[in-house]
Chains A and B, each alone.
With several copies, the nearest count.
Chain A
């Protein structure tokens, strides 16, 4: 089965991103293909490398990064949502005159078309949100 996953909430505030991570990991471990994880709304905040969660808590951003490294997962942050919430890569920094970036490795910023495409190409779309 080919899956598309949509994440609507940021890390820590809502459990939605935890659920999305555990679901995605379980699907990959069962041998399913995850075509793309698309981060929308506050979900784009999953893609910042600047978090420092408490040592006795899970590291939500790093978990995604490690999963992406292991399974060559496509982690896409919606560009419009990212601009509103201050999620920036090199290209965005240059285009919008920002003096820093905060995107984590393995994440990329792209358009909403990537969500539509994922929904078309995949057998199932699974949405996690508030």
Chain B
């Protein structure tokens, strides 16, 4: 098993997503929450971060995605939406949590 990385910053504001990906091991799960969910949007200058990160599984918190008006058809393919119960499950099913703030 690998770690769960939480990223709560917009990829346009801070490099947290970029660094979480860079320092994550193969098989890592990366969960985008709060303003971090902007990293899950397709068609942006930052979409390459997620699209180019093979071997990582990406998740985004649904309530945060919806609050920001990001419709599901604008999400990058393969990003899975979870609710807080799913967040808890991710914490349980991975080795530990790294918060990339």
Verify A26–B85 contact, CB threshold 8 A: yes
CB < 8 Å neighbour of B91 from A16, A25, A124, A128: A124
Task: Count B interface residues, CB 8 Å.
Answer: 19
Is residue A32 within 8 Å, beta carbon to beta carbon, of the partner chain?
Answer: yes
CB < 8 Å neighbour of B96 from A16, A30, A124, A128: A124
Chain A residues with CB below 8 A from B61, complex form:
19
Count of A-B residue pairs with CB < 8 Å: 52
Verify A23–B87 contact, CB threshold 8 A: yes
A55 and B34 CA atoms in complex are apart in Å by 23
Complex A-B: 24 CB contacts under 8 Å: A1-B91, A1-B92, A3-B91, A15-B8, A15-B34, A15-B35, A19-B8, A19-B33, A19-B34, A23-B87, A23-B88, A26-B83, A26-B84, A26-B87, A27-B88, A27-B91, A29-B85, A32-B92, A124-B96, A126-B6, A128-B8, A129-B99, A129-B101, A130-B101
The interface of chain A, by Cβ under 8 A from chain B, is 1, 3, 8, 15-16, 19, 22-23, 25-27, 29-30, 32, 124-130
10 more A-B contacts (CB under 8 A) besides A25-B84, A124-B92, A128-B8?
A1-B92, A3-B91, A8-B101, A26-B83, A30-B85, A124-B96, A124-B97, A126-B6, A126-B97, A126-B99
